[in-house]
Amino acid sequence: MAMACNCRSYVQNARNKTNPSDEPAVTSTDYPCGVCSFCAKIASGTHPDVTQVEPENGTIKISQIRDLCDVLMLRPFECRMRVAIVNEVHLMNASSSNALLKTLEEPPEHTLLILTAHQTSDLLPTIVSRCQHIRFNPVPRSALTEILIRQRGVENKEASVISGLAHGSVSKALGLKSSWMNKRRWIMAEMGKLKESSLHVILALSEKLSKNRDDLPDILEIMLSWFRDILIYPHDPEKVINQDMLDSIRDVSERYIPDRIYRSIQAVQTMLNRIQTSKTNVQLSMDYLLLRLKAFQQ
Ligand SMILES: [Zn+2]
pLDDT at residue 11 tops 60 = no
Cα–Cα distance between 286 and 298 in angstroms, integer? Answer: 19
Kindly give the distance from the C-alpha atom of residue 262 to the centroid of ligand 1, in angstroms, as a whole number: 50
Computed over every residue of the chain, the mean pLDDT equals 87
Q: How far is the CA of 10 from the centre of ligand 1 (A)?
A: 6
d(CA 189, CA 210): 17
CA of 215 to the centre of ligand 1 (A): 34
Residue 129 C-alpha to ligand 1 middle, in angstroms? 32
- How far away, in angstroms, is 36 Cα from ligand 1 center? 4
Looking at the structure, do residues 182 and 292 belong to the same domain, yes or no?
A: yes
Between the CA of 35 and the centroid of ligand 1 the distance, in Å, is 5
Do 173 and 67 lie in one domain? The reply is no
Three-state DSSP class for 85? strand
Domain boundary among 148, 177, 206: 177
Of 111, 135, 159, which closes a domain?
A: 135
* Residues forming beta bridges with residue 171, ordered by sequence position: none
The DSSP secondary structure of 194-233, one letter per residue, reads GGG--HHHHHHHHHHHTS-GGGHHHHHHHHHHHHHHHHHT
Q: Which residue has the higher pLDDT, 200 or 34?
A: 200
Contact 279, 58 (CB under 8 A): yes
Residues 284, 214 share a domain: yes
If asked whether residues 103 and 197 sit together in one domain, one would say: no
- Strand runs labelled E in 55-212: 82-86, 111-115
Q: How confident is the model at residue 82 (pLDDT cuts 50, 70, 90)?
A: very high
223 by Cβ neighbours in 10 Å (0-12 / 13-18 / 19+) ranks as buried
Same domain as 281, residue 184: yes
So what's the pLDDT on residue 34? 85
Q: Identify the three-state secondary structure at position 133.
A: coil
High-pLDDT (> 90) share of the chain, %? 48
pLDDT at 37: 92
- Which residues, listed in sequence order, are joined to residue 51 by a DSSP beta bridge? 84
First and final C-alpha spacing in the chain? 52
Say how many Å lie between the CA of residue 18 and the centre of ligand 1: 19
Q: What percent of the chain has pLDDT over 70?
A: 92
E strands present in the chain: 50-53, 82-86, 111-115
Confidence category of residue 205, pLDDT binned at 50, 70, 90: very high
* Ligand 1 centre distance from Cα of residue 74 (Å): 23
- Judge if 147 and 40 occupy the same domain: no
Query: Do 113 and 31 share a domain, yes or no?
Result: no
Of 3-17, 70-84, 245-259, give the lowest mean pLDDT range.
Answer: 3-17
42 CA → ligand 1 middle, Å:
9
What's residue 25's pLDDT? 56
For residues 104 and 187, state if they share a domain. no
170 lies in the same domain as 201: no
Overall average pLDDT of the 191-214 stretch: 91
Last residue of a domain, one of 147, 177, 207: 177
Residues 107, 120: one domain? yes
| Distance (Å) of CA 65 to CA 18, 101, 102, 125 | 40, 10, 11, 18
Whichever domain contains 207, its CATH number is 1.20.272.10
The residue among 153 and 25 whose pLDDT is bigger is 153
Q: Domain containing 59 — which CATH number? A: 3.40.50.300
**Residue 265 predicted with pLDDT over 60:** yes
CA–centroid distance, residue 157 to ligand 1 (Å): 37
* Residue numbers of the domain that contains 52: 48-135
Asked if pLDDT for residue 89 goes beyond 80, the answer is yes
Q: Compute, in angstroms, the gap from residue 17 CA to the centroid of ligand 1.
A: 17
Instruction: Give the integer Cα–Cα distance in Å for 109 and 289.
Output: 50
* Number of domains composing the chain: 4
Same domain, 122 and 192: no
How far, in Å, from the CA of 8 to the mean position of ligand 1?
A: 5
Q: Which of 24-28, 100-104, 134-138, 282-286 has the lowest mean pLDDT?
A: 24-28
293 and 248 fall within a common domain:
yes
- 104 CA distance to ligand 1 centroid (A)? 27
Q: What is the DSSP letter of 246?
A: H
Task: Find the 38 Cα to ligand 1 centroid distance in Å.
Answer: 6
